[in-house]
Amino acid sequence: MEAVADREALAALPRIDDLVDRADALVREFGRRDTTETLRRVTDAARRTLLAGHTASADPDGLIAAATTELRARRPGPPRRVLNATGVVIHTNLGRAPLAPEAVEAIRSAAAYCDLEFDLATGGRGSRNARVAPLVADACRAPAGFAVNNAAGALVLCLAALAGDREVLVSRGELVEIGGSFRLPEIMHASGAQLVEVGTTNRTRAEDFAAAGTDVALILAVHPSNYRITGFSQAPSIAELAVVARERGVPLVHDVGSGLLVDEEAPWAAGEPSIAGSLQAGADLALASGDKLLGGPQAGLLAGRADLVERCQRHPLARALRLDKLRIAALVTTLEAHLREDRGSLPTWARLDADEAELRTRAQGLASALDGEVVPGASLIGGGSAPGHELPSPVVRLRGGAPDAVAERLRLGDPAVVCRVEDGALWLDPRTIDPADDDVLVERVRAERAET
Ligand SMILES: *Cc1c(COP(=O)(O)O)cnc(C)c1O
């Protein structure tokens, strides 16, 4: 039978003006223009559906509900707080390093007018960089330092400033993709430098760097943060590369990635290079992220030889990649905590260094409150740091019910809770939960399990 348009329903479609009047809550939340446009779109869609002979609701409340869904999807608002029960300490999708309360306070102070580039002593112009550069240098035990938007930006800047359109030697085994969007060959291409691949994917020797290229401007070493070539593999050390770089008269730049400032004894830091360690081994410039193991805001640190740092600072791209006042505020307090050796005040470090007995006590508390069990498990450092390196952690397993449905409800509530679902159970890792949030976590899980 031929589809026939429902004339009655079409005639019942409300006028847009009437809908807007009725949707005053939406107008208050999203503004008149977007609300009106969305209501029009939703109503037009209903009209087309009806004209095509299908069924659609002409009910004003139904249309307003559809518009609400659309507006909410298009305007999710600012990032919402999440309780991270995944056990991944530096979780890129959850915003990487959680900031210390002190950093948050500094952000609050800087958010209004602040003396970002103003000298309160003289009433004259100040420098945004003067607040950060010496701190980066001191924290990295380097002659000079600088900070920009992120590590990828630091790399582009340093290639543009130090290599221009000349050649950069990189080990083929280090032409990697980190975290899905950091593809070294593409970043190098964006900087304008010529990439010269050296060696083979699994084996590269220092001698390979001695012979490669014709117009070489620098040698770049990249820490393969999130993968590890095992078995028949070989890569030159920074010290070996430094010898070649010196012989060729070009700087050696090392992207260490994680933002470890100095070599750490901590078990979780096994094998992670540090900025200071890299410079000491002979790198001329080291680059790192601000929001991984450093435990600060998104930023890219550059530290090393003063002449090289200065060339980076003076390059026009430095202006395009500069930090804003909010992140400068957080970065300064984070670096100060490192310099005071008060790293326990940084949530990332508190999570990594968490005492296993204390974690077990908390896990037992969570398990007994939620009728679960404590199982030996492992947390991940994450964030492309220390590949394959796990931290032993007691975790809480909650069996029974509908774990996927509970996990969804946990994600959608307030505060959102993100956890693992595996083997038909819900898993909560207390390591990545602030102990002060344990009660809220229990409350949320209890309520959502009761609902499903
Ligand atoms: C994480 C990482 C980057 C990217 O850092 P961003 O601060 O996110 O730009 C670059 N290089 C290495 C080795 C990394 O581990």
User: Which of 182, 255, 275 has most ligand 1 atoms within 8 Å of its beta carbon, as the pocket-test mutant?
Assistant: 182
User: How is residue 431 written in tokens?
Assistant: 């390591």
What distance in Å separates the CA atoms of residue 34 and residue 67, rounded to the nearest whole number?
A: 10
Kindly report, residue by residue over 100-122, the tens digit of the pLDDT: 999 999 999 999 999 999 999 99
Residue 228 has pLDDT above 80, yes or no: no
What distance in Å separates the CA atoms of residue 240 and residue 282, rounded to the nearest whole number?
A: 9
Residue with the smallest CA separation from ligand 1 atom 13 is 257
Higher confidence at residue 299 or residue 3?
299
Residues in the ligand 1 pocket, defined by CB under 6 Å: 150-152, 178, 182, 222-223, 225, 255, 257-258, 289, 300, 384
What distance in Å separates the CA atoms of residue 121 and residue 123, rounded to the nearest whole number?
A: 6
Long-range contacts of 122-130 (CB under 8 A, 24+ apart): 128/322, 128/323, 128/325, 128/328, 129/313
Kindly report, residue by residue over 302-330, the tens digit of the pLDDT: 999 999 999 999 999 999 999 999 999 99
Residue 386 has pLDDT above 60, yes or no: no
For ligand 1, the distance from its centroid to the CA atom of residue 385, given in whole angstroms, is 9
Q: Please tell me whether residue 98 adopts helix, strand or coil conformation.
A: coil
User: How is residue 365 written in tokens?
Assistant: 């508390």
Q: Which atom of ligand 1 is nearest the CA belonging to 258?
A: 15
Q: Which atom of ligand 1 is nearest the CA belonging to 96?
A: 8
User: How is residue 198 written in tokens?
Assistant: 């050296």
Average pLDDT value for residue range 340-349: 96
Higher confidence at residue 296 or residue 269?
296
- Predicted pLDDT at 60: 95
Residue 48 has pLDDT above 80, yes or no: yes
User: Which of 225, 258, 275 has most ligand 1 atoms within 8 Å of its beta carbon, as the pocket-test mutant?
Assistant: 225
For ligand 1, the distance from its centroid to the CA atom of residue 77, given in whole angstroms, is 27
Average pLDDT value for residue range 358-367: 98
Higher confidence at residue 351 or residue 182?
351
Average pLDDT value for residue range 400-420: 96
Burial of 366 (0-12, 13-18, 19+ CB in 10 A): buried
Higher confidence at residue 300 or residue 58?
300
Kindly report, residue by residue over 121-166, the tens digit of the pLDDT: 999 999 999 999 999 999 999 999 999 999 999 999 999 999 999 9
pTM across the whole model: 0.92
What distance in Å separates the CA atoms of residue 381 and residue 387, rounded to the nearest whole number?
A: 8
Higher confidence at residue 445 or residue 199?
445
What distance in Å separates the CA atoms of residue 211 and residue 423, rounded to the nearest whole number?
A: 53
- Predicted pLDDT at 232: 56
What distance in Å separates the CA atoms of residue 452 and residue 363, rounded to the nearest whole number?
A: 23
Residue with the smallest CA separation from ligand 1 atom 5 is 151
State the average pLDDT for the chain: 93
- Predicted pLDDT at 205: 87
Q: Which atom of ligand 1 is nearest the CA belonging to 92?
A: 8
- Predicted pLDDT at 1: 47
- The band of 213, judged by pLDDT with boundaries at 50, 70 and 90, is very high
For ligand 1, the distance from its centroid to the CA atom of residue 183, given in whole angstroms, is 10
For ligand 1, the distance from its centroid to the CA atom of residue 181, given in whole angstroms, is 10
- The band of 173, judged by pLDDT with boundaries at 50, 70 and 90, is confident
Q: Among residues of the chain, what percentage have pLDDT more than 90?
A: 82
Query: CA angle, corner 433, sides to 429 and 436, nearest 5?
Result: 135
Asked if 419 and 395 touch (Cβ cutoff 8 Å), the reply is no
Residue 270 has pLDDT above 90, yes or no: no
Residue with the smallest CA separation from ligand 1 atom 12 is 257
Average pLDDT value for residue range 336-356: 96
Asked if 397 and 375 touch (Cβ cutoff 8 Å), the reply is yes
Higher confidence at residue 78 or residue 388?
78
- Predicted pLDDT at 450: 93
- The band of 430, judged by pLDDT with boundaries at 50, 70 and 90, is very high
Average pLDDT value for residue range 45-49: 96
Residue with the smallest CA separation from ligand 1 atom 11 is 257
